Structure 1
Amino acid sequence: MTSMTMTTATTRTYDETVALVRRHLPDVGFGVLTEIDMQVTLKAKLGVDVEPQIILGACRPELAHAATQADPSVAALLPCNVVVRAHGDETIVETLDPRVMTTMAPGGAALQDVAEDARRRLTELLRLVGNA
């Protein structure tokens, strides 16, 4: 594996891209459990200004259950974070490659099917929201 993440870029605005990601996550079978607005959080906690960035904690309960049944320690890698961040004239959408869990968790081999299912779904999400 050459990268721990899967990424796409778009020329859509940050706000348009966040809305598009939210709209398409259910289309690929994921819901959003958590949200962290990095721009707001870092401004409030550190007084620093950063470009807009949000971390959406996406979950597909069936995959989370199967993964934790195969290896309970993999729960530390859940949910699947989908990051949307402004980057100059582009907006980046990035997610952890689910295959990473097969290399990090002791029961990695047992997680192969779950990782491939999640990867296929997140790859489709990136295809739906990317245009570059």
Structure 2
Amino acid sequence: MTIALSTTLHSSFADAVERTRESLAGEGFGVLTEIDMKATLKAKLDEDMEDYLILGACNPALAHQAVSVDRQIGLLLPCNVVVRRDPDSDGLVHVEAMNPQLLVQVTGEPALKAVAHEAAVKLQAALDRLTDS
């Protein structure tokens, strides 16, 4: 099992972020949190890095199903989606979503299989929409 579902876009970083938000919304995910790693590392450590944004994406219906099975699953939510500029190739942006199947693997809770599968299908559809547009 891979840690991430991913795709690569030929686009500007800003366009990739906007398209990712729209694509996630099309699958019922809202973005609850946003961490700008580039800005944070610059501000806290005076370190430079490429554009790198972590979006905390949540599909409320799926989150409800998951916490109904295991209340501690909130420790692994929301699903992180990373949008990052390729440091070695100008014009390439990687979009990577946490593979929800990890929820089952980490918890060992078989009752999470169905919700993890549905979340994976929806996240993969969001990534596929990015490459189709």
Q: What TM bracket, shorter-length normalisation?
A: over 0.9
- What is the distance in 2 between the residues matched to 1:19 and 1:5? 20
Aligned residue type for 1:7:
S
Contact 2:36 2:54 in 1 (8 A): yes
Match of 1:101 in 2: 103
Alignment of 1:17-36 (within 5 A): 17-36=16-35
- Whole-angstrom distance in 1 between the partners of 2:131 and 2:48: 26
Partner of 1:40: 39
Structure 2 length normalisation: TM-score? 0.93
Amino acid at match of 1:39: K
Runs of 4+ in 1 over 4 A off after TM superposition: none
Q: RMSD of the alignment, in Å?
A: 1.0
The normalised TM-score by structure 1 is 0.94
Per the alignment, residue 5 of structure 2 pairs with: 6
**Post-superposition CA distance 1:9-42 (Å, at most 9, x none):** 0111111100101111110110010000111001
2:100 maps to a residue whose letter is P
CA contact (8 A) 2:23 2:127 kept: no
Instruction: List runs of 5+ in structure 1 lacking aligned partners.
Output: none
Residue equivalent to 1:116:
117
Matched-pair contact (CA < 8 Å) for 1:71–1:106? no
2:94 is aligned to: 92
